[in-house]
Chain A
Amino acid sequence: MTTLTRVGRRRLLSSVAVTASFALLLGACGSDETPESSNGQVTITVNNMPPETEALQRKNFLDDIAAFEKANPKIKIDPKEGKMDPATFSAKLAGGQLENAYYVYFTDPAGLIARKQAADITPYVAGFPDIQQIKPNLLEVFGDGKGKQYGLPEGNYTMGLVYNRELFKQAGLDPNKPPATWDEVREYAKKISALGDGINGYGDYSKNNTGGWHFTAEMYTRGGDVAARGADGKWTAAFNNDTGKAVLQLLKDMRFTDKAMGEKQLLEWADLLQQMGAGKLGMYLATADNIPTIVSQYKGRTEDYGFGPVPGGQGTLGGGGGYMFSPKSSPEQIKAAMAWVLFRHADPARIDEGKKRDADNKQPVGLPEPNIFTGAAGATYDAASKKYANVPTENFAPFVAAQANIPLKVEPPNAQKIYAVLDPVMAAALTKPDADIPALLADAEKQVNAILATV
């Protein structure tokens, strides 16, 4: 073959370069780095790092990492933003990108355990005495019911009634007396929506699973249930009854007879926070931690909001979050990740300084949220919350006073699938003046029983 001309050589080189660079690019994908070096050093990835838009929370998070690494010189933490997002979770898991410790909500663990997508941490629990200070019913959320542990709780919440004290005053209602029954909710909602100007007395959800979630919460407040376990251990639907009819009938009456809920429905989580922040909503069911979000993201004023117990008061839906661990982690990584989670969220020795730091940074302290501790650590937590409280705790007094007497109930098994079935039921009650409630409940019952048959 003759020698290549200069142009030809350049062409050839460029084409080889193009191909080679693609090969390199491909080679770079999916390489797993080895986490442990020979000298006992271990590197772990953790998520739930606050984004840069939340500068203060991010700084606290990074300060905690620095303090943790100082106390545990053999552990190096590589923090990531975000929580367990179902839309990206599987891709991260498949691509070897799932963090060693990842944040989940209480509705996630059952499915993740069943699909073997979380590491079994049972062998390491004994090595962390602080776990004994966490409420057993919260630890159970991350268990398989057969004595195995797959995660650790970080916080929990219970539902109450967030309401706008300012609108209460304008409507001639006592802002220190939130409605105690659902009949009172209806009465108050009528008065508040009579203020006009696009103000709704009461708001509720009916889109993307939030409707089913609130239907469940409302069933609990009336002493009802969504799924019940029979003597034979089998789960069945438990909402096609008078309690279920009462929940939907009340919503339908408030929406169409009283016109106290506004015409815009098919709402999801952020919609009601936005309405509350804009001063256009009287009341809605929520957890206390909605209040700081309404204030920071939707420009509301903390002093405008009150927090009362759930109307009806016969049961309140409890939820929360915690951490699970990537099944692709080594035992050393799992132990290191557990140490980090406990250090950041469940270290009784750090409770006081944590609350002080929040208060110094003008973060809300004293919101009436149940803490995850029991015994001595629980008492320490309550004392610190009181000591550094900087929110108008008197506005939450109605909730605190009633809370001890309201039983806390967890979400049903396969919660998300059940919520997806109950969503259209809520949507129908809120958008169809001629909604046939018994038929809606009977149809949903069939579907939910089919879901529960697989539990």
Chain B
Amino acid sequence: MATTTTAAVSPRLRAHRDTGRLCRRLQDNLLAYGFLAAALVCFGLFSWYPLVRSITLSLQQDNLVTEPEWVGLDNFRALFDDPLLGTAIANTVEFTGLALVFGYAIPIAMAILLNELRHFSTYFRLAVYLPVMLPPIVSAMLWQFFYDPGQGLFNTLLDGAHLPTSQWVQSPETAMLSLVLVSTWANMGGSTLMYLAALQSVPPELYESSELDGASLWKRIWHVTLPQMRFIMLVMALLQITATMQVFIEPFQLTGFTNPDTITVMTLIYRYAFAVNQDFGLAAALSVLLFVVLAAFAALYLRITRERTV
């Protein structure tokens, strides 16, 4: 817009111009309000309303026919009386812990490896990312075939190599680890690419100077790569915890919702709501509990990322 010197402008003209400016601003903002309204409706309808509805549902006994009855904290009491809750929490924590050990370390190692590759790097990047493109239920069913202790792929290979076979998901000792492997295989592509992007933003002169100082590959990784990736690693750890605590597909498909060795918080919610109890209040109470725990991690994540970006 052309600027004019204010001294030579009459008050009437200035008023007229101000009105024009206001109108223009309003026009622009009207458009923004229009778009904002659509977004707000979407968020309200699909995010906030279900959230509030879950909280109210957790305080009600609702058969969805007659008026819902407010029961205060009864659903939470029933929830804490259920011995399965402790089992499900312990299993979920175990899954999250194992997933951190495997699903966290493997993508970092993979990213470093891909970064060091000189040949076929495009092919390997694609290969690592491919499983992410499969619908989760499909990968779970695929692994069901791998894990079949009778004629499955893994035991056939192990048997052929004269190695001891495993019962995989059928034995309490190996069930959880088997589920973590499925989940890691299915999800590590995304994390690997994130780490790879972080790696490629490490200034090459750092490597050059360390090479001049005679640092070995391991020393370069330890003193240059990892410190440079500290922030993304922390963020990914938090994201991973919030994601793995909501594990559902793997235990649901491979071991079912009645198996105490692998029942997780999410499978228990499903069981309460749809499979066994048909009790939405109880399911909502457990959902609210999970939400509170996950919200704490999300808050931590937001705080860390905000500190970094400010």
Contact = CB atoms under 8 A, between A and B. Distances in A.
B142 interface: no
B258 A207 contact: yes
Interface stretch (B111-119, B232-240, B269-277): B269-277
B27 interface: yes
Interface residues of A, number: 48
B38 A266 contact: no
A208 B257 contact: yes
A12 B27 contact: yes
B158 interface: no
16 contacts: A1-B23, A8-B27, A15-B30, A26-B41, A26-B45, A87-B274, A90-B278, A115-B278, A198-B151, A207-B255, A207-B258, A208-B257, A268-B256, A424-B258, A431-B167, A431-B170
B280 interface: yes
B259 interface: yes
B170 A266 contact: yes
Nearest to A327: B65
Given A12-B34, A19-B41, A423-B258, 17 more contacts: A14-B31, A18-B34, A19-B34, A22-B42, A87-B274, A89-B278, A93-B65, A116-B63, A116-B66, A264-B148, A264-B149, A265-B170, A327-B65, A423-B259, A427-B259, A431-B171, A432-B172
Contacts of A15: 30-31, 33-35, 37
A86 B274 contact: yes
A117 B66 CA distance: 9
Contacts of B254: 266
Interface string A236-256: 000000000000000000000
A11 B27 CA distance: 8
Contact of A2 (B19, B37, B45, B259): B19
Contacts of A76: none
Interface of B is mostly: helix
Interface of B: 19-20, 23, 26-27, 30-31, 33-35, 37-38, 41-42, 45, 63-66, 83, 148-152, 167, 169-172, 254-260, 271, 273-278, 280
Interface string A66-103: 00000000000000000000110110011000000000
B172 to A, nearest CB: 8
Given A8-B27, A86-B274, A209-B276, A328 B65 contact: yes
Nearest to B255: A266
B37 A22 contact: yes
Contact of B19 (A1, A86, A207, A211): A1
Contacts of A423: 256, 258-259
Contacts of A356: none
B150 A262 contact: yes
Contacts of A117: 63-65
A207 B278 contact: no
A35 interface: no
Closest 4 CB pairs of A and B: A15-B34, A423-B258, A263-B150, A207-B256
A111 interface: yes
Contacts of B276: 209, 416-417, 420
Nearest to B22: A1
Nearest to A430: B170
B27 A424 contact: no
Contacts of B274: 86-87, 90
B63 A19 contact: no
B38 A2 contact: no
A55 interface: no
A424 B275 contact: no
Given A19-B34, A116-B65, A266-B169, A420 B271 contact: yes
A117 B64 CA distance: 8
A90 B150 contact: no
A311 to B, nearest CB: 24
B282 to A, nearest CB: 12
A4 B45 contact: no
Q: Which of A111, A419, A423 has the most CB of B within 10 A?
A: A423
Contacts of B63: 115-117
Contacts of A26: 41, 45
A90 B281 CA distance: 12
